Amino acid sequence: MPKKILLASGCSYTDKDYKSNDPNITADWPMWPEIMANNLNLKCVNTGKCGQGADHIFDSIMDNIATYGNRIDTIAIVWSTADRIPFFDFTLNPIVECNVDEIMKSNGGVDPFSWMDDIGIGRISKNYMNSAHFGTKKSYKIMIQNPLRKMLAIVEICKAKNIKFVMIQGLLYMDTHSLDSMISRGILNKQSGLSPTDCANLFMKNPIFGQLEKHKKHIIGWPFLPKFGGYVYDDIRFGHLKLPNRTISGPDDYYISNKDKHPNKLGQELLSDLFMEKYKELYH
């Protein structure tokens, strides 16, 4: 009988083919889905892909549910930032695309997103967000609530098909601080701002959030926003949050290098540990 499957998805924190921005590093360690699947004696189907958002995650999960059906034992997801929006066969990353200069300052002078300019999409977000057509509340509402819809859909599918499931938010859900910084530096117009309060209201004051609340035991760090007692994976690995019974040695131990802040081998093991702890809490 074919082996049961762990189906995983996410962005660069999950991508088994991740290539480091640091030319001196070869990211040849196993990623968290492979580690988790090995611990559970499951076959790993890892659909994570660099730069992707909720739409890729949802679509890749759905494609593989259709492909593997009852062979799927568990679905595990690291969700990406909410501002990632599909564009043809690419994904727009508006905040990143508008903020590359600042990212390079904290990334050892390396532009990890030069490919966006190479294919002509690097300026699309900046131009649009500075245009008269940009509707702040409407645009941010779409960004912020889209991943919630995808989360709920996967939750309902897992319940209907009796599939085990665990989720975590990998990066900051919505980077309002960078928006403020870009406005203060003249990169964006004031109309493009989003206060943390407005962000929280768009995130929490809707029926989708209420439905996900019913399944929060499956969602590590829910509701993700520190103000409301939530957290994301980066809060843990960078030492911003201390969890009971877990000691983080030093924040710089969990990323690749000063030129690449993605999770390294220890960071991947930490992610797998968080998933396994929640899995055992739910299913053992």
Helix (H) or strand (E) holding 53: none
Q: What is the per-residue pLDDT for 111? A: 66
Whether residue 120 is predicted with pLDDT greater than 80 in this model: the reply is no
Whether residue 92 is predicted with pLDDT greater than 90 in this model: the reply is no
Q: What is the per-residue pLDDT for 109? A: 67
Q: What is the per-residue pLDDT for 104? A: 63
Q: What is the per-residue pLDDT for 33? A: 98
Tell me the average pLDDT across 45-49. Answer: 98
Nearest to 18 by CA among 61, 51, 62, 56: 51
Whether residue 118 is predicted with pLDDT greater than 80 in this model: the reply is no
The tokens for 260 are 């690449």
**What does the alpha-carbon distance between residue 130 and residue 186 come to, in Å, rounded to a whole number?**
10
Confidence of residue 249 (pLDDT cuts 50, 70, 90): confident
- For the chain, list the domains and their CATH numbers: 5-93+145-175+207-283 (3.40.50.1110)
Q: What is the per-residue pLDDT for 18? A: 96
Which is more confident, 55 or 129?
55
Confidence of residue 127 (pLDDT cuts 50, 70, 90): confident
Q: What is the per-residue pLDDT for 110? A: 64
Tell me the average pLDDT across 275-282. Answer: 97
Amino acid, res. 12: S
pTM of the entire structure?
Answer: 0.93
Q: What is the per-residue pLDDT for 115? A: 65
**Alpha-carbon distances, residue 275 vs 178, 180, 254 (angstroms):** 29, 33, 16
Whether residue 88 is predicted with pLDDT greater than 70 in this model: the reply is yes
Whether residue 100 is predicted with pLDDT greater than 80 in this model: the reply is no
Q: Mapping DSSP to helix (H, G, I), strand (E, B) and coil, where does residue 23 land?
A: coil
Q: What is the per-residue pLDDT for 211? A: 98
